[in-house]
Every structure is written in structure tokens, then in C-alpha cells.
Amino acid sequence: MSNKKIAFQVLEPEPLLIVISGPSGVGKDTVVDHMKSRGLPFHFVITATTRPPRDEETHGVDYFFFSKDEFAEMIENDELLEYAFVYNDFKGIPKSQVREALASGKDVVMRLDVQGAATIRELCPEAVLIFLSTESEDELVNRLKARKTEKMDELKLRIATARKEFNRISEFDYVILNRDDQLDETVNAIKAIIYAEHHRVDQKKVTL
């Protein structure tokens, strides 16, 4: 019997880029806000947008709110990791924010619409993409109506877009059912995914 010792090395986990996505009304903002309230040790990316803030939203906390001229300047200066024109407004992710967070060793969590998630997958195949879903299309429509934040024509556009976005689940790595009044269960599922990803034999190394 050989007494030769087997050498092994436990590597420090690489910081992950986690994208939380899904159709409008599925609860992306609510889920991310709940993750923040639980003090989870992630860097939560703040999205830049040209839409006006809602009553409960704060600049630099919920979103960075910019004029269309300011946003155009950011595009021209190549300051955005990705951006898209969604529901008559621009949304984008400041590039420096993500790079600095990854460099610090923190896992980075960003909320994106389905179009934005597809762009990140192209730029960074190592990103972990999570699709939030409702139990049915009717439930999603009811959530959108209950928000009362859109005019009727805007609401119809969001519903039509959501129907198409549900057909893109196969582009994601994971899908989580975000049930009403079960935020802890949704966040626990996200935490479990991140935990499992950190214990892969082949660690994902994010490069941007």
C-alpha cells in the first residue's frame, strides 16, 4: 500500500455576477429590496434609467435617474455595461460600478429585464442568470394592474411584452417561482443557487 500523500488545494471562490430577471410585474425590485433588507453580503448594482422616479423611489438608492440627454452622454462615453430602450425609456448598468465591485471580491447582483439579461449573457457567459416567474399569466397581469403605475396603453404593452418574455426561460440557468407573500422562500432559493455555484469544481471566473 502506497504512503504517498495526495496534494490538494482548496481555492477561494471567485466573485459571481448574478442576474435576477423576469417579466415586468414579476417582483424583481421587491425581491432585490428584500435581499438588501436581510443584509446579505452582496453588491447590489443600481440601474440607471431615464424614467421619472415613483413616489417611493430615491435617486442613488433605487435607481440613478437621468435625463435622456444625460443618458445619451453616458452612451457616447462608453460608460454603460449594457443599455436598452424599454417601455419608452432607457435603462442601463454603469460599467465602473460592476468592475469595482467584482475587484473587491464581492458577489454582484443586478436586476435586469429579459432583454438586458440576454445582453449580459453575450458579454459575460460566466454570469449566473435567474428568471423569476409567477404561477400563471393571469397572476402576472393582476400584479401589473394592482401597481397602478402605468396608463392603460402602457399596461397593455407590458402585458404583451411579458407574454413573449415567458417564452425565453430556456435562455436562463435557473427559474424561481416568486409566490405572493413568500419573499423569504424566493430569497432563500437565490441564496442556495449562489451557495451551490461557489462550490462548483470548475469555478466561474467573470471577466468584463
Pick the catalytic residue: 158, 163, 179, 200? 158
Grid coordinates standing for 124?
459575460
Average of per-residue pLDDT across 172-182: 94
Neighbours of 50 (CB within 10 A): 20
Q: Which runs of consecutive H residues, i.e. helices, occur in the chain?
A: 28-37, 68-76, 95-103, 114-123, 137-147, 152-165, 183-198
Active site residue 54: yes
Q: What does pTM read for this prediction?
A: 0.83
Residue among 38, 51, 143, 147 flagged as catalytic: 147
Q: 147 catalytic, yes or no?
A: yes
The proportion of the chain whose per-residue pLDDT surpasses 90, expressed as a percent, equals 60
Positive or negative, the CA dihedral 17, 173, 194, 144 is: positive
- Given the residues 38, 54, 163, 200, select the one marked as catalytic: 54
Whether residue 142 has pLDDT greater than 80: yes
Residue 128: φ, ψ to 5°: -100, 115
Mean pLDDT of 167-178: 95
Query: Where residue 155 falls among pLDDT bands split at 50, 70, 90?
Result: confident
pLDDT tens digits, one per residue of 12-68: 789 999 999 999 889 998 999 999 999 999 999 999 999 999 888 999 888 999 999
Cell digits of residue 23: 417579466
d(CA 101, CA 122): 20
Answer whether residue 126 shows pLDDT above 70. Answer: yes
Which cell goes with 38?
436581510
Does the domain at 17-198 match CATH 3.20.20.70? Answer given as no
Spatial distance between the Cα atoms of 193 and 174, rounded to a whole number of angstroms: 8
Report domain extents, the chain: 17-198
Task: Tell which wins on pLDDT, 116 or 208.
Answer: 116
The answer, yes or no, to whether residue 175 has pLDDT greater than 80, is yes
Q: Which amino acid is at 168?
A: R
